[in-house]
């Protein structure tokens, strides 16, 4: 009688869960490509700082509006400065958020040309897009600097904050977007291939033209 039994332990549920939860090979390869890009650490820390600042401004907006509702409907004495604080925070949050959205290439785009080209054509189109974005941001930054300096003489009615602080948010956002565009251009130039897109971003925002009959 054969009494030999297989002594190999059966796979437990936790092992199966760990195996199932491991990231796909494609995601791991894309992550390795992104980490191997030039200035990858600089971009990552820059994006972390931008997201942190934008999150703080969002917290200011929510807390200010909540305090204003409480003061108005509970205490019967609304604040005079809450609206300006919320507007100020919203302006800065918008332009700071536009910067890290630019870094992650999440701005809405309609792809009508590069999908019909080869690898060299796609590379050229991507480089040109970064050049156009960086040049536009820098031109607007230079052109708007004098205006921001001029309105600094005027203060807001409730807070007394110079208007240059308000319009300066646009200048900071344009500068950050220009930096991200130039860094992306440098990465594409050094690697010789378009930057990888996250899969959900590519599926959600890339629009393909249907072939005409």
CA–CA separation, 85 and 63 (whole Å): 10
Q: How confident is the model at residue 51, as a pLDDT? A: 94
With a cut of 70, say whether residue 126 has pLDDT above it: yes
Highest mean pLDDT among 2-11, 73-82, 192-201: 73-82
- 162 - beta bridge partners? 155
Per residue in 141-199, pLDDT (tens digit) is: 988 888 888 888 888 887 778 888 889 999 999 999 999 999 988 888 887 776 666 54
35 — pLDDT class (breaks 50, 70, 90):
low
Cβ contact 127:188 at 8 Å: yes
Distances (CA, A) of 76 to 80, 85, 207: 13, 20, 52
Distances (CA, A) of 9 to 5, 12, 117, 187: 11, 8, 53, 48
């Amino acid at each position: 009688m054969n009494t030999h039994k297989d002594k190999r332990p059966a796979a437990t549920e936790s092992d199966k869960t760990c195996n199932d939860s491991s990231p796909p090979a494609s995601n791991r390869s894309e992550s390795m490509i992104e980490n191997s890009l030039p200035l990858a650490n600089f971009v990552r820390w820059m994006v972390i700082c931008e997201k942190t600042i934008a999150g703080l401004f969002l917290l200011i907006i929510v807390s200010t509006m909540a305090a204003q509702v409480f003061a108005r409907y509970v205490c019967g004495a609304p604040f005079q400065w809450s609206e300006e604080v919320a507007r100020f925070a919203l302006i800065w949050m918008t332009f700071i958020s536009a910067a890290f959205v630019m870094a992650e290439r999440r701005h809405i785009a309609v792809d009508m040309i590069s999908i019909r080209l080869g690898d060299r054509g796609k590379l050229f189109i991507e480089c040109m897009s970064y050049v156009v974005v960086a040049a536009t941001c820098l031109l607007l930054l230079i052109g708007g600097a004098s205006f921001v300096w001029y309105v600094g003489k005027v203060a807001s009615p409730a807070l007394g904050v110079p208007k240059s602080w308000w319009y300066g948010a646009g200048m900071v956002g344009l500068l950050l977007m220009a930096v991200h565009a130039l860094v992306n251009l440098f990465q594409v130039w050094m690697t010789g291939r378009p930057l990888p897109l996250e899969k959900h971003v590519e599926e959600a925002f890339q629009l393909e033209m249907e072939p005409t009959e």
